[in-house]
């Protein structure tokens, strides 16, 4: 089985050249993030009202992939899905699991903060040359460094990991397949709807971890920002059972309103590399289409 879990800067620049990219958060900045507005988190949570909006399907068709996009307004509770059936199908989360993995590591004291560093063991690994060096939590999340989060998971251990995923209600919370690989090739499954629910709870500071840990991880997911808007997210990519699966899940904020979103793409296993740029391209286009990002974010 081949795993492609890239977040390399070269690929990002290829698919988002015109977006004013946010600089990777410095260690000092990541330790003291500027939190998003607390108003949304202290307000009553509106009920989720879902509607199917198939207007984005032509984008998937043009890209020749099977795909689904889920977008929830945290202000109104309105949730749109482009494909109601596909939005409920669970898949391996791949590198999107780095979000809960980081939260659990911070909460359990495995990592002390954004600048907590693990030494590279000197073994060169495929995927990205950026992986082959020492990493902090901030840089490992930015570069989607697989070995770093595998070691973090081993240090968390199966008992604490299982308890945390159940407390998070994260997908099926199944860690079968090995403590350092259950999200890559094991039994863990999560649907696009569940990804959006998880990101909504992260932003509202409703997960059973310290608020400062949630604020820190959310901050480190920043992909691009400018006055009046921000785009946060984490990619994931894997292939299994003859199928390639690509993810981009996160949060978008514009003029004080926040949306949680999840994009999932599926294609034949042989086309796994083709999904790498498509994740950001399609997610960005759909976020702009539905008003979660301004038009200039698409350029």
Question: Quick one: pLDDT at residue 227?
Answer: 96
Residues noted as catalytic: 95
Question: Quick one: pLDDT at residue 29?
Answer: 38
Q: Is 4 within the bounds of a domain?
A: no
Q: Is 150 within the bounds of a domain?
A: yes
Q: Is the pLDDT of residue 126 over 70?
A: yes
Q: Is 2 within the bounds of a domain?
A: no
State both tokens at 80: 């749109």
Question: Quick one: pLDDT at residue 131?
Answer: 95
Q: How far apart are CA 127 and CA 34, in angstroms?
A: 32
CA distances from 99 to 44, 233, 288 (A): 25, 10, 24
Query: In total, how many domains does the chain have?
Result: 1
State both tokens at 281: 């391209």
* Sheet of strand 222-226, all strands in order from the earlier edge strand to the far edge: 49-52, 78-81, 66-73, 257-268, 243-254, 229-240, 222-226
Element (H, E) at 136: strand 135-136
Report the CATH number at residue 268.
3.40.710.10
The model's pLDDT over 92-116, given as tens digits with 9 standing for 90+, comes to 999 999 999 999 999 999 999 999 9
Q: Is 74 within the bounds of a domain?
A: yes
Element (H, E) at 246: strand 243-254
Q: Is 3 within the bounds of a domain?
A: no
> What's the pLDDT band for 169 if we cut at 50, 70, 90?
very high
CA 84, 78, 203, 134 dihedral sign is positive
Q: How far apart are CA 250 and CA 252, in angstroms?
A: 7
CA distances from 184 to 85, 145, 198, 245, 287 (A): 23, 13, 19, 11, 27
Residue of 299, 218, 213 lying closest to 258 (CA atoms): 218
Question: Quick one: pLDDT at residue 298?
Answer: 74
Q: Is 72 within the bounds of a domain?
A: yes
The model's pLDDT over 67-80, given as tens digits with 9 standing for 90+, comes to 999 999 999 999 99
Q: Is 203 within the bounds of a domain?
A: yes
The model's pLDDT over 225-272, given as tens digits with 9 standing for 90+, comes to 999 999 999 999 999 889 999 999 999 999 999 999 999 999 999 999
Q: Which residues form the domain of 277?
A: 9-298
Q: Is 218 within the bounds of a domain?
A: yes
Q: Is the pLDDT of residue 19 over 90?
A: no
């Amino acid at each position: 089985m081949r795993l492609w879990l890239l977040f390399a800067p070269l690929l990002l620049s290829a698919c988002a050249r015109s977006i004013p990219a946010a600089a990777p958060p410095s260690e000092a900045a990541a330790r003291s993030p500027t939190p998003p507005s607390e108003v949304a988190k202290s307000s009553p949570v509106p009920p989720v009202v879902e509607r199917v909006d198939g207007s984005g399907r032509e984008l998937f068709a043009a890209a020749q992939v099977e795909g689904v996009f889920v977008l929830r307004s945290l202000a109104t509770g309105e949730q749109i899905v482009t494909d109601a059936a596909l939005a409920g199908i669970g898949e391996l989360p791949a590198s999107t699991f780095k979000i809960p993995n980081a939260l659990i590591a911070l909460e359990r004291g495995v990592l002390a903060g954004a600048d907590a560093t693990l030494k590279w063991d000197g073994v060169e690994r495929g995927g990205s040359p950026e992986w082959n060096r020492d990493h902090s939590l901030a840089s490992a999340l930015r570069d989607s460094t697989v070995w770093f989060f595998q070691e973090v998971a081993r240090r968390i251990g199966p008992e604490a990991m299982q308890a945390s995923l159940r407390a998070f209600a994260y997908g099926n919370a199944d860690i079968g397949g090995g403590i350092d690989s259950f999200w890559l090739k094991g039994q863990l499954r999560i649907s696009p709807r569940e990804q959006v629910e998880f990101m909504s709870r992260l932003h509202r500071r409703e997960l059973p971890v310290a608020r400062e840990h949630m604020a820190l991880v959310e901050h480190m997911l920043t992909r691009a920002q400018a006055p009046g808007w921000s785009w946060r997210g984490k990619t994931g990519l894997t292939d299994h059972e003859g199928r390639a699966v690509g993810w981009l899940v996160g949060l978008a904020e514009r003029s004080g309103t926040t949306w949680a979103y999840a994009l999932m793409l599926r294609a034949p296993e042989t086309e796994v590399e083709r999904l790498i740029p498509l994740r950001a391209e399609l997610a960005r286009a759909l976020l702009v289409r539905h008003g979660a990002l301004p038009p200039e974010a698409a350029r």
